[in-house]
Amino acid sequence: MLNFLIGTAISAAAGFIFTYIMSNMKKFNKELEKREAVAEEKADTSVDIFPITEKGVICSPLTGKAIPMSEVPDDTFAAEVLGKGMAVIPSEGKVVAPCYGVISALFDTKHAIGITTKDGVELLIHVGVNTVELNGKYYEAHVAQGDQIKPGQVLLTFDIQKIQEAGYPVATPVIIANTHDYKKVEGLKNGEIHCMEPLIKLEEA
């Protein structure tokens, strides 16, 4: 009889402990799911830390000094043969996506990148003058052709000092390659500019 009572007590205690553990595990799992959901939400919102500009405005993909295309030390760019736009003399070796779009061209030499925006603007960002001759040295691509991109996403990084020491200007044209699709393409700022600040205004034909 004593053994029976002891066995019954042990069984009851084991059942209680098992139920208690399972209950707490469920609570723990629910709390973990909540924390993961909050973390994912924060991660999603933290990506878009830059303001989305109005249609027809192209933001600067670089931080530095904005200059007219005519001041780029290259006749092709200065004459806007490839299209109108603006240029930036970078103070940071980083090119970010100025908008939502897709990488439509990425040169093997990584000195230039093409973007087709969600509004159909064809952008060409050419980091430096005659830098194709570096064959990709001092450049690193962080995207691939065909990638979907979002504002502020890092596209290219490069070493400003080493490019300059190699004898190449780092003035970076930001070109509207399909200029003919627009009635007007004008620069919005000269002088100091930060990435994701408005740089070019487009007026549809």
pLDDT greater at residue 45 or residue 60? 60
Active site residues: 126
Burial class (CB in 10 A: 0-12, 13-18, 19+), 25: exposed
pLDDT in tens, 153-201: 999 999 999 999 999 999 999 999 999 999 999 999 999 999 999 999 9
pLDDT in tens, 48-70: 444 555 689 999 999 999 999 99
> What would the two tokens of residue 81 be?
């043969």
Alpha-carbon gap, residue 142 to 32, rounded angstroms: 33
Q: Which of 111, 188, 195 is nearest to 154 (CA)?
A: 195
- Strands 182-187 and 57-59, by their bridges, are unpaired
The pLDDT, as a whole number, for residue 67 is 98
pLDDT at residue 101 above 80? yes
pLDDT greater at residue 18 or residue 160? 160
pLDDT in tens, 117-165: 999 999 999 999 999 999 999 999 999 999 999 999 999 999 999 999 9
The pLDDT, as a whole number, for residue 5 is 47
The SS3 of residue 13 is: helix
State the average pLDDT over residues 8-21: 46
Contact 97, 153 (CB under 8 A): yes
Q: Which helix (H) or strand (E) covers residue 84, if one does?
A: strand 84-90
The pLDDT, as a whole number, for residue 55 is 81
Architecture label for domain 57-204: Distorted Sandwich (2.70)
CB atoms closer than 10 angstroms to residue 126: 24
When computed from its CA atoms, the radius of gyration of the chain, rounded to whole angstroms, is 28
pLDDT at residue 25 above 50? no
Alpha-carbon gap, residue 9 to 31, rounded angstroms: 33
Q: Where are the domains of the chain?
A: 1-47, 57-204
The pLDDT, as a whole number, for residue 149 is 97
Q: Which helix (H) or strand (E) covers residue 185, if one does?
A: strand 182-187
Contact 118, 52 (CB under 8 A): no
Alpha-carbon gap, residue 26 to 19, rounded angstroms: 11
Rounded to 5 degrees, φ, ψ at 68 are -65, 155
pLDDT greater at residue 2 or residue 56? 56
